[in-house]
Amino acid sequence: MREANVQVENSDLLRTYAINDAMNQLILSRLDPRAWRAKLPDSKQGGRTIAAIFAHLHNCRLVWLKRSARHLKCPAPLDPDRCTMKQAAAAHKKSGAQCLHMLTDALSSDPQRRVTTFSRGSWVPTWPADATMFAYMFSHEAHHRGQILMLAHQLGYRVPEYPGVWHWEKLWKQAGLARRRR
């Protein structure tokens, strides 16, 4: 198979990551508060609540920031057992902004950039700070957003869809970002 000659501009990746937090905020704003700490009946394994998943996402961001961009200020971690939806929304806004700063530096061609490696934690090898870093960060959050939406659905609390997390054009427009090139 021939490799496609595709060029993705770093600004496209940065705009896409900016929408990442808009998706999280959209879910938080439309989620029925009764679903926040609800657990599935018959769940013998326990499993995370939606609150715990949102706390996990935020706290993972803090690990990435502390290990890859020590110069950026980290917001406080979230307690998965005590955080409110409002606290989660505020924390995600702060950690999302700092992760965007980290990615902006990491994807820069500036030889003096400060973010040169990406660490997901002490138990795994570090990677170069490049588009792979973006892909991991985005896919990690997309995976957990899927868990959140599925859990809400299984609990009987569907998140109103339109305009939803799949309507990127509306999210781009609401965020004040330029239209994507076609």
pLDDT of residue 178: 60
Which stretches of the chain score pLDDT less than 50? 1-7
pLDDT of residue 175: 63
Helices (H) and strands (E) in the chain, counts: 5, 2
pLDDT of residue 174: 67
pLDDT of residue 4: 46
For the chain, the structural domain boundaries read 10-174
93 vs 101: CA distance, rounded Å: 12
In a 3-state reduction of DSSP, which class is residue 157? coil
Right CATH number for 10-174 from 1.20.120.450, 3.40.50.620, 1.10.540.10, 3.10.20.740? 1.20.120.450
**What is residue 130's DSSP assignment?**
S
pLDDT of residue 181: 52
